[in-house]
Structure 1
Amino acid sequence: MDIVEQPGGRQDGGTGTDGSEIELVYRNTVADFAGALRVRADRTGTARRKKWMFGIVGTLSLIGGVALLTGDGPDVARGVGFLVGGVLLWGIGPLGPRLQARAFRGLLEKTGETRAVVDGTGVRLTATACDTRIGWAVQPTYAETDELFVMLSEDKRAVSMTVLPKRGARSPADIDRLRAVLDANLRRL
């Protein structure tokens, strides 16, 4: 048997925790990507700080707008501008992941059907124009939602993620097996 160096994975070329692969077949959707972005925003420090900053600056903008409208010699144009800016900043928080995901709609549609194979060495994604291998060390954490598993990197500058929709599994048992492989190789957030 050839020894294959896989970052974060086994070095003997082995497969899943029970010797098998788990396969998911799915089409990426805007909802999947928005869900993954929400997970990233809720579970990574940088994204949480950005979300709080939008809220704080939005609140200060609203307060400034009210002060400009109600003070001595109200400045209506600037006051309304501050109010609109505050509302927009508050709206970006909850709507941000959905808006970001919609921006990638064309790219998601071009991807077509995706096949993800998960084993003891990592994840292999195959789609229309790509074939990518992701070792466990590259994205060492994951989170689970009702619809998705989301693998996340810990890079503070460019957080990468891999979205694994549960609907792509052949059976509920495959979802449990996938969770076991992820638990064995990644840290759950």
Structure 2
Amino acid sequence: MNTDTEPSAQPDGQAVELAYLLTRADIVQALRTRDAHTASGRRARWVFPLGGLMGVGFGALALAEGEGVLGRPLFFFVAGAFLWALVLFGPQLQARAFGGLLDKAGEARVVIDASGVHVTTADTRTHIGWAAQPRYTETAGMFLLLSDDKRAAAMTMLPKRGAQDPADIDRLRAVLDRNLRRI
């Protein structure tokens, strides 16, 4: 019997069920993976470090011209360091912003079947159809479903540790392969 708090499997027997607590580490991994698979993410991986290097370089030039440390050189040094910090710590800062939501959501119970992904948490119940996130990628620890827009703004994380049985991971991969494009 299906209640409003439990996802339901489709009768075709191909449904895969996961249960997990989403962590900040999951979000960091998902953000880094998404960035590796989107043009804007790949671009940011070289633009920000290059901008940081240029900022430090301009600061060093201004310092060499005898302008002292304060003023223009300090601005360039700070700007360069900020861009490098975004590269190194951006995903962690973004994941930290979700901390309160993760605590509130609690355990996620997910059913993946022929109609899409059904996610139930302590305070939400969502159905994500295949057309909403038509691409996916796999990492060592999760399957990541991505929307088809330029920045892949929408994503769904399916940590492998949520599988009840190791065979469920192969079944989940098969369901995703049938319904989504692997990237």
Report the TM-score when normalising by structure 1.
Answer: 0.86
Work out the CA distance in 2 between the residues paired with 1:118 and 1:65: 53
Q: Is 1:28 equivalent to 2:22 in the alignment?
A: yes
Q: How does 1:18-167 map to 2 (within 5 A)?
A: 19-71=13-65, 73-77=66-70, 78-156=72-150, 159-167=153-161
- Residue type of the partner of 1:76? V
Q: Which of 86-95 and 167-176 deviates more?
A: 86-95
- Residue type of the partner of 1:177? R
Q: CA deviation at 1:179?
A: 0.7
Note the alpha carbon deviations across 1:9-41, whole angstroms, 9 max, x for none. xxxxx949x732100001111011111111111
Indicate if the aligned counterparts of 2:110 and 2:118 stay in contact, CA closer than 8 A. Answer: yes
| RMSD of aligned Cα (Å) | 1.8
- Residue type of the partner of 1:42? A
Note the alpha carbon deviations across 1:109-152, whole angstroms, 9 max, x for none. 10011001001111000001111000111101111111111100
Task: Indicate how the Cα distance of structure 1 residues 172 and 157 shifts in structure 2: closer, same or farther if over 3 A, else same.
Answer: closer
Q: CA deviation at 1:157?
A: 5.8
Which consecutive unaligned segments of at least 5 residues does structure 1 have?
1-13
Over the matched positions of the two proteins, sequence identity in percent amounts to: 51
Q: CA deviation at 1:188?
A: 1.1
Work out the CA distance in 2 between the residues paired with 1:157 and 1:143: 15
- Residue type of the partner of 1:123? V
Task: Report the number of matched residues.
Answer: 174
Structure 2 counterpart of 1:7: none
Secondary structure at 2:77 match in 1? helix
Q: CA deviation at 1:42?
A: 0.8
Secondary structure at 1:76 match in 2? coil
Report the TM-score when normalising by structure 2.
Answer: 0.89
Work out the CA distance in 2 between the residues paired with 1:44 and 1:158: 7
Q: CA deviation at 1:91?
A: 2.1
Indicate if the aligned counterparts of 2:41 and 2:151 stay in contact, CA closer than 8 A. Answer: no
Q: CA deviation at 1:158?
A: 6.1
Indicate if the aligned counterparts of 2:146 and 2:152 stay in contact, CA closer than 8 A. Answer: no
Work out the CA distance in 1 between the residues paired with 2:68 and 2:137: 48
| Runs of 4+ with >4 A deviation | none
Which consecutive unaligned segments of at least 5 residues does structure 2 have?
1-8
